[in-house]
Amino acid sequence: MRCVSDEDPYLWLEDIEGEAALRWVAERNAETDAALAADAGFAELKERLRAVLDASDRIPYTVRHGTFLYNFWRDAGNARGVWRRTTLEQYRKDAPEWEILLDVDALAAAEDEKWIWAGARLRHPDHDRALVCLSRDGGDAVVVREYDLAARAFVEGGFRVAEAKTRIGWIDADTVFVGTDFGPGSLTDAGYPRTVRRWRRGTPLEDAPQVFEAGTGDVAAWAWHDTTPGFERDFVARWLDFFRSEMFLLTPEATLVRIDVPDDASAYAHRGHLIVTLKSDWLGRPAGSLLAFDFDAFLAGDRTAEVLFTPDERTALSGHSWTRHHLLLETMRDVSTRIEVLTPSDGGGWTRRPLADVPALSAVTVVDTDPDVSDEFFLDVSGFLQPSALHHGWIDADTETLKQAPARFDTAGLTAEQFFATSPDGTRVPYFVIGPDRSPDGPGPRPALLHGYGGFEVSLTPSYDAVTGRAWLERGGTYVVANIRGGGEYGPDWHRAALGARRPRAYEDFAAVAGDLVARGITTPAMLGATGGSNGGLLMGAMLTRYPHLFGAIVVQVPLLDMLRFHKLLAGSSWTAEFGNPDTEADRPHLREISPYHQFTADRVYPPVLLTTSTRDDRVHPGHARKAAARLRELGHPVLLHENTGGGHAGAGDNEQSAHNEALTHTFLWRHLARPARPDEGD
Distant-in-sequence, close-in-space partners of 184: CB < 8 Å, separation ≥ 6: none
User: What residues form DSSP beta bridges with 247?
Assistant: 237
Q: Exposed, middle or buried: residue 242 (CB in 10 Å: 0-12, 13-18, 19+)?
A: middle
Phi, psi of 26 (to 5 degrees): -60, -40
Neighbours of 78 (CB within 10 A): 19
Is 614 considered catalytic here? no
Residues 6+ apart with CB under 8 A from 143: 133, 134, 136, 160, 161, 162, 163
State how far the Cα of 662 lies from the Cα of 180, in Å rounded to an integer. Answer: 35
Total Cβ atoms within 10 A of residue 87: 13
List the catalytic residue out of 451, 598, 649, 660.
649
Return d(Cα 99, Cα 77) in angstroms, integer. 16
Q: What is the dihedral of CA 391, 62, 656, 649, to 10 degrees?
A: -110
Task: Look up 649 and say whether it is catalytic.
Answer: yes
Give me the sign of the Cα torsion angle 569, 571, 572, 573: positive
Contacts for 492 with CB less than 8 Å, ≥ 6 apart: 278, 279, 280, 287, 288, 457
Return the axis-axis angle of helices 504-519 and 535-546, rounded to nearest 10°.
Answer: 70
Of residues 388, 534, 595, 614, which has the active-site annotation?
A: 534
Phi/psi region, residue 680 (left: phi>0; alpha: psi -120 to 50; beta: rest), is alpha
Residue type, 302: D
Distance separating alpha carbons of residues 22 and 26, to the nearest angstrom:
6
Measured in degrees and rounded to the nearest 5, phi and psi for residue 382 equal -150, 170
For 215-314, strand residue ranges (E) read 220-226, 233-239, 245-250, 256-258, 266-270, 273-277, 290-294, 306-309
> Does the N-terminal peptide bond of residue 125 adopt cis geometry, omega within 30 degrees of 0?
yes
CB atoms within 10 A of CB 6: 9
- Across 68-140, where does the E strand assignment appear? 68-75, 78-86, 99-103, 115-122, 129-136
Cβ neighbours for 498, distance < 8 A, ≥ 6 positions apart: 454, 455, 484, 485, 486, 504, 505, 506, 509
| Residues designated catalytic | 534, 649
